[in-house]
Amino acid sequence: MVLNEYTLPFRLTRADVIGSGSVSTVFAIGECIALKAPIVFRANIPLTDEQIEQSAESLASLEREKCIYDILNDHPHPNILQTILHCPGGIFMPRMSRNLDNWMNHDPNSISVPLRLRWVKELTRAAEHLESHGLVHGDIRPANTLLDNNLHIKLADFDSCVSAGDACLAFTVPYHDAFEEKASYTTEQFAIGSFMYTVFTGVEPEFEITGRKLQAEKLPDTSGILGGDIIASCWRKEYVSIAALAGEIEELELELALDDERDDGDGCEMCFVAGSNSPRSVQRVSGQANAEVLEEDRIEKLRVICRGLCSCLNDNN
């Protein structure tokens, strides 16, 4: 990313950048607010066709995402990121502590089995909520999964979200079966299977593809992995809905809790979870028991700050 070629919004600087991608840049505004802004190149430099196309795609992507957040903000879910304010300069949102990808790459040994399983459950609950509104996220993966201060999942990055049955917009390997072109519960469960595999093993799965389909007999081995049967079923797209998959994960969590109660440490069978100090962990799960949606008065207080930023910029122009 070459920031000196971009027009940065709201007098923000390179020091404020906390994340970037091919179609957007995320800036920190204090401790509580983040801004997701489109990529807009400076007007005083000659642009290549590729840069013009990138900027147009960025603006269109952000507008799509605003529309999805408008729907989701009217129907909030504790495991889906809520936004604060939408404006031409971007999307203001609560600032999260980090994304799941960062956490697993930099501090894997701190993650207990119950916490990993809770993340999978919360991610699936978020996808189930989208399904209930006829939506498919379309790009589920650890990098698009944020963590709040209590280590609860907040699914984010809805620029690839579409209505069920529409064409897929993202084909991120290994979270998408590249030969599925229509977004549905099958593409979503495939992504969740890869998400589970990554969370429980610490590495992304590798698939073998021949012709125009995955070779079912050559899917990554999931034996010995916590929830391995569920992961394999996701890849084979055997669940009739995300709600059905969510039910399976709830049962897995209950089984793990019961096993932990029964275990006395004498040679019990252990499931593999990379980076965890205790394969069949009895560590407490950090944070509150349940994730929460932001209360409206809290959102309004943050919204006032964001409106003030927009107003100051307009006054100075």
Q: pLDDT higher for 314 or 13?
A: 13
- Token pair for residue 13? 């600087």
pTM, full prediction: 0.86
CA distances 213 to 179, 209, 218, 219, 272, Å, are 7, 6, 11, 12, 29
CA distances 254 to 37, 194, 247, Å, are 41, 22, 11
Using the predicted structure, report yes or no on whether residue 283 has a pLDDT greater than 70.
no
pLDDT tens-digit series, residues 60-113: 999 999 999 999 999 999 999 999 999 988 999 999 988 999 888 887 778 899
pLDDT tens-digit series, residues 200-232: 999 999 987 655 566 665 789 999 999 999 999
SS3 147: strand
98-262 CATH: 1.10.510.10
pLDDT value of residue 256: 86
pLDDT tens-digit series, residues 133-165: 999 999 999 999 999 999 999 999 999 999 999
DSSP-derived letter for residue 167 is B
Q: What are phi and psi of 127, to 5 degrees?
A: -65, -35
Q: pLDDT higher for 18 or 274?
A: 18
Contact 91, 35 (CB under 8 A): yes
| Spatial separation of the C-alpha atoms in residues 124 and 79, rounded to whole Å | 9
pLDDT tens-digit series, residues 171-199: 898 999 877 889 999 999 999 999 999 99
pLDDT value of residue 54: 80
DSSP-derived letter for residue 150 is T
pLDDT value of residue 27: 92
Contact 147, 99 (CB under 8 A): yes
| Spatial separation of the C-alpha atoms in residues 186 and 242, rounded to whole Å | 8
Q: Where in the chain is the domain with CATH 1.10.510.10?
A: 98-262
β-partners of residue 210 are 213
pLDDT tens-digit series, residues 235-263: 999 999 999 999 999 999 998 887 766 66
pLDDT value of residue 214: 64
Does the domain made of 3-95+294-316 have the CATH classification 3.30.200? yes
